[in-house]
Chain A
Amino acid sequence: MSVRRLFAVWHARNLEFLRDRSTLIFNFAFPLALVIAFAAIFGGQPRALFKVDVVAPPAAAINARLHPFLGTRYVDFVRVEPDDIEGAIRKVERHEADLLLDLRTAPRYWVNEDSPKGYLAEKLLLQAAGGQARREPVSGAAVRYVDWLLPGILGMNMMFSCLFGVGYVVVRYRKSGFLRRLSATPVTAFEFGAAQVLSRLLLTVSVTSLLYAALALLVPFRNEGSPLVLLLVAVAGALAMISFGFMMAARFTSEELANGAINLASWPMMLLSGVWFSLEGAPAWLQSFARILPLTQMLDAARAVMLDGAGLPQVLPQLAWLAVMTLLFLGIAAAGFRWRPD
Chain B
Amino acid sequence: MTPVIEVHELVKEYPGVRAVDGVSFSIPQGQCFGLLGPNGAGKTTTVEMMEGVTQPTSGHVLYRGEPLGARFREEAGIQFQKTALQDKLTVRETLTLFSRLYPRGRKVDALIETCALGEIANRDNRKLSGGQMQRLLLAVALANDPQVLFLDEPTTGLDPQARHNFWDLIRTIKADGRTVLLTTHYMEEAYFLCDVIAIMDRGRIIAEGPPSRLLREHFGDVVLELPREDFPADVSSFPLPVLLASDRVEISTGDVESALRTLLEQGIPLQHLRIRPRNLEDLFLELTGRELRT
Contacts and interface: CB of A to CB of B under 8 A. Distances in A.
B17 interface: no
A183 B140 CA distance: 13
Interface stretch (B77-85, B155-163, B277-285): B77-85
Contacts of A182: 101
B142 to A, nearest CB: 13
Nearest to A173: B86
Nearest to A172: B87
A186 B83 CA distance: 17
B84 A181 contact: yes
B245 interface: no
Interface in A305-342: 339-340
Interface in A123-137: none
A181 B85 contact: yes
A277 interface: no
Interface in A153-176: 173, 176
B64 to A, nearest CB: 17
Contacts, number: 42
Contact of B73 (A173, A180, A184, A340): A184
A177 interface: yes
A186 B84 contact: no
B191 interface: no
Nearest to B81: A177
Interface string A181-208: 1111111000000000000000000000
Centre residue among B74, B78, B84, B140 by max chain A CB count within 10 A: B84
B70 A176 contact: no
A186 B78 contact: no
A173 B85 CA distance: 9
Interface residues of A, number: 14
Contact of B80 (A180, A185, A339): A180
B102 A180 contact: no
B80 A181 contact: yes
A119 interface: no
A177 B83 contact: yes
Given A178-B85, A178-B86, A183 B53 contact: yes
Nearest to B141: A184
A187 to B, nearest CB: 6
A180 B51 CA distance: 11
Contacts of B74: 186
Interface string B124-155: 00000000000000001000100000000000
B98 interface: yes
A185 B73 contact: yes
Interface string B32-57: 00000000000000000001110000
B151 to A, nearest CB: 13
9 contacts: A177-B82, A178-B86, A184-B80, A185-B98, A185-B101, A185-B144, A186-B73, A186-B101, A340-B53
Interface of B: 51-53, 70, 73-74, 76, 78, 80, 82-86, 98, 101-103, 140, 144
